[in-house]
């Protein structure tokens, strides 16, 4: 089945540790996105990538890093510099520019202890 796969679904880490969230898509989409979801704040854009080896900061990029070495993959690293990393993280992809529809993965819930 085509779609977005995020892993792990749940992740616990100690303060000060970097963590990497995986996002893989088999939809052959060019654009990929990372959003952070917190209660009452909607979905906030962290980073996005339109093509391989290129990515742009979103609205809340501080404390996060990404890479886009393959079309199918867009991993997100939550670094120790992120002040409030506990959140639900969503990866998405989008087809051509004419299509506004985002396809989301099932999310990764990160809890920092």
Partner 1 sequence: QQQVKQSPQSLIVQKGGISIINCAYENTAFDYFPWYQQFPGKGPALLIAIRPDVSEKKEGRFTISFNKSAKQFSLHIMDSQPGDSATYFCAASIQGAQKLVFGQGTRLTINP
Residues that bind partner 1 (CB under 8 A): 4, 31, 35, 40-45, 48, 50, 56, 58, 90, 92, 94, 97-98, 100-102, 104-107
Q: CA neighbours within 13 Å on the CB side: how many for 88?
A: 11
Of the pair 19, 92, the CB lying nearest partner 1 is at 92
Taking the least distance from each CB to partner 1, the nearer of 19 and 90 is 90
* Shortest distance, position 16 Cβ to partner 1, whole Å: 28
Rounded to a whole number of angstroms, the minimum distance from the CB of residue 34 to partner 1 is 12
Cα separation, 93 vs 23, whole angstroms: 10
Assigned token pair, 65: 């890093």
Nearer of residues 80 and 109 to partner 1, judged by Cβ: 109
Query: Are 44 and 29 in contact, with CB atoms under 8 Å apart?
Result: no
Q: Contact, 47 vs 67, CB < 8 A?
A: no
């Amino acid at each position: 089945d085509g779609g977005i796969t995020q892993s792990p679904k749940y992740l616990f880490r100690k303060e000060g540790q970097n963590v990497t969230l995986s996002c893989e898509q088999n939809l052959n989409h060019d654009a990929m996105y990372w959003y952070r979801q917190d209660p009452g704040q909607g979905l906030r854009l962290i980073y996005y990538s339109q093509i391989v080896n290129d990515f742009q900061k979103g609205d809340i990029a501080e404390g996060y890093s990404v890479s886009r070495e393959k079309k199918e993959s867009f991993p997100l690293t939550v670094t120790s510099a992120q002040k409030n990393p506990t959140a639900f993280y969503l990866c998405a992809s989008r087809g051509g520019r004419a299509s506004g529809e985002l396809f989301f993965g099932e999310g990764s819930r990160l809890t920092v202890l």
